Amino acid sequence: MTPPTGTHMRKHSVIESTPNSPLSRRPSFSRRSFLKVFSAAGAAACASAAKPAEAQNTEKQEELMTVLDISKCVGCGECVAACKESNAHKYPTVRKPIPKMFPPRVKVEDWSDKKDVDDRLTPYNWLYIQTAELEHDGEDFELNIPRRCLHCTNPPCANLCPWGAALKEDTGIVRIDEDICLGGAKCRTVCPWHIPQRQSGAGLYLDLLPRFAGNGTMLKCDRCYDKIAEGKEPACITACPEDIQTIGPRSMMIKHAKALAASMNGYIYGLDENGGTNTIYVSPVPFEKINNAIEKGRGRPNLAPVKNSMANEETLTSALIAAPLAGIAAGVLKIFSDARKEKQND
Amino acid sequence: MTNLIRKLWVPVMTLMAITGMGQMPIFKRYYVADIPGLAWLGEPFTVHWVHYAGAAVLMFMVAVITIRWFADREPLTTSGTLRITLLALLICTGYIRVVKNLPDIHFSPTFTMLIDWTHLLFAMLLGVAALWSARTGRRSYTKQTESLRRI
Ligand code: SF4
Ligand code: SF4
Ligand code: SF4
């Protein structure tokens, strides 16, 4: 990790912990208690296996959510390094030379020689630290914000993937199957933060029509789904010396995030964005101000308010339910009116 | 009404085929979205919404035709049975995909992929069946009357 410029610490903390303040205590779902929380969920799942099917259907596994207290992040980059190390085995193997694309307007995106880039999201860097220097309520702040996929609750990247390569798991994890993905990058287009990143010259498209369809494979944070499946916590959470992330069942995490925000008279981001995500950032400074202060662009997502991308689909679903019912009614009416006309003619 | 449906059938099915193909990012790549008036084909969300809206119109038409068919019970031709079966499968997989896109509902990754791939497969097979029926003069869906012909 290239050392970030500056100290990357809050210049003035608004949360001075006192023995009785909520922040002076470890959050009830600290990373160290994650395994307990998670294994409890696992135990509940095992216990439910022994219950009748009817009972099982009513018990739904809660999605996992992470809460990031950005007032504590010092921008050390340990999480970024841990993510790279832990997920290196998932990075694509690029077959060179990468086929030229047709038509030529389609550009190859090759990061295979720039794997060390860590100041933005790339196919080889799924997490990076954004920095914001700003002033709020007469105090100067230098905030560091670890950025990656937010794992939306109704993810447009997965819903609009025509190929079934982007998917959401029961745990709430949204990930892209790099062996199936064709690299059309529609997921990046429809993601409000344009999170997934493309690596050309790898993936299934090479075995189909490499010049004419597809363009590689898309990569992004998969919330260390393999570790989660083993009951372990994501690498970035384990590595953080400041314990800024907390992971646990969604309902508990929402309570935790709200309490944390209240304790610092702070703000939250991610709870309602894009219809809801499974990542909440808690900050002592309004996100509007942070959004104005951070560097944005390709691979550098914003922190602006985001409307639910899937809202129109949700409305149109009602039309899809009403349309056949209206058709049945219209068909029945027509049959009756035809029968009446026939009778009158007789 | 059947006449109106007959007139609308091919345009609506064409719209569904185009917006269905448009779910893959090919129209922008192959300059189709550069044609004046067709820029929307390069907008993933717009193509998705139009596919949904077209499906609602199609479902209205299918419901009317189905009710009318139940009233008359005219025997179906082989090519009619084939196309109706494929359309039914296409509709089923489409509805499953719509349900999956609702918040708080998601299916297993394998099932989702199965639905995506079979929806695409049934669409392609229906296209082939429709072309074959048209080229070989087997357009009629029913054996006896003209009422559902060419829809
Ligand atoms: S943040 Fe973007 S990539 Fe991540 S789940 Fe949401 S839409 Fe998908
Ligand atoms: S959850 Fe895993 S994949 Fe996602 S940023 Fe953290 S370490 Fe990387
Ligand atoms: S390891 Fe923790 S403190 Fe260091 S940059 Fe990452 S989130 Fe911030």
Which atom of ligand 1 is found nearest the CA of A174?
A: 5
Is residue A58, in this structure, part of any structural domain at all? Answer: yes
Domain final residue pick, B57, B73, B89: B73
Of residues A156 and A18, more confidently modeled? A156
Residues B98, B84, single domain; the answer is yes
Of A163, A184, A316, the CB nearest to B52: A316
Residue B142 confidence (pLDDT)? 80
For the cut 70, the answer to whether the pLDDT of residue B145 exceeds it is no
Q: How many CA atoms lie within 13 A of A146 on its CB side?
A: 34
Of A185, A322, A330, the CB nearest to B1: A330
Q: What is the pLDDT of residues A227-268, one digit of tens each?
A: 999 999 999 999 999 999 999 999 999 999 999 999 999 999
pLDDT class for B140, splitting at 50, 70, 90? confident
Which pair of tokens denotes residue B65?
A: 């035709």
Residues B68, B3, single domain; the answer is yes
Residues B94, B66, single domain; the answer is no
Which residue segment(s) compose the domain that A159 sits in? 6-307
For the cut 80, the answer to whether the pLDDT of residue A17 exceeds it is no
Considering every ligand atom, which ligand is closest to the CA of A228? 2
Least confident of A303-307, B64-68, B101-105: B101-105
Q: What is the pLDDT of residues A163-185, one digit of tens each?
A: 889 999 999 999 999 889 999 99
Residues B2, B21, single domain; the answer is yes
Of residues B99 and A105, more confidently modeled? B99
Nearest chain B residue to A336 by CA: give it.
B71
Question: Which of B47, B96, B112 is most worth mutating to test chain A (most A CB atoms within 10 A of its CB)?
Answer: B112
Residues B65, B94, single domain; the answer is no
Q: Which residues in chain A are contacts of B48 at CB distance < 8 A?
A: 160, 313
Give the integer Cα–Cα distance in Å for A218 and B139: 43
Q: What is the CA radius of gyration of chain A?
A: 24
Residues A154, A158, A88, A247, Cα dihedral to 10°: 10
Domain final residue pick, B73, B101, B119: B73
Looking at the 3D structure of chain B, how many domains does it have?
A: 2
What does pTM read for this prediction?
A: 0.86
Q: What is the pLDDT of residues A278-334, one digit of tens each?
A: 999 999 999 999 999 999 999 999 999 999 999 999 999 999 999 999 999 999 998
Q: What is the pLDDT of residues B6-39, one digit of tens each?
A: 899 999 999 999 999 999 989 999 989 999 999 9
Is residue B151, in this structure, part of any structural domain at all? Answer: no
Looking at the 3D structure of chain A, how many domains does it have?
A: 1
What is the nearest CA distance from A203 to chain B, expressed in angstroms?
17
Nearest CA residue ID for atom 3, ligand 3: A73
Is residue B43, in this structure, part of any structural domain at all? Answer: yes
Q: Does A234 sit in the ligand 1 pocket, CB within 6 Å?
A: no
Please name every residue paired with B76 in a beta bridge, in sequence order, or none if there are none.
Answer: B142
Residue A339 confidence (pLDDT)? 83
Nearest CA residue ID for atom 1, ligand 2: A223
pLDDT class for A59, splitting at 50, 70, 90? low
Which residue segment(s) compose the domain that B65 sits in? 1-73
Domain final residue pick, B73, B100, B134: B73
Is residue B106, in this structure, part of any structural domain at all? Answer: yes
Residues B57, B80, single domain; the answer is no
Question: Residue A28 sits in a domain of what CATH number?
Answer: 3.30.70.20
Question: Which of B31, B57, B59 is most worth mutating to test chain A (most A CB atoms within 10 A of its CB)?
Answer: B59
Residue B37 confidence (pLDDT)? 95
What is the nearest CA distance from B92 to chain A, expressed in angstroms?
12
Residues B67, B104, single domain; the answer is no
Nearest to A147 by CA among A283, A290, A299, A275: A299
Is residue B99, in this structure, part of any structural domain at all? Answer: yes
Of residues B2 and A78, more confidently modeled? A78
Residues B33, B53, single domain; the answer is yes
What is the nearest CA distance from B77 to chain A, expressed in angstroms?
22
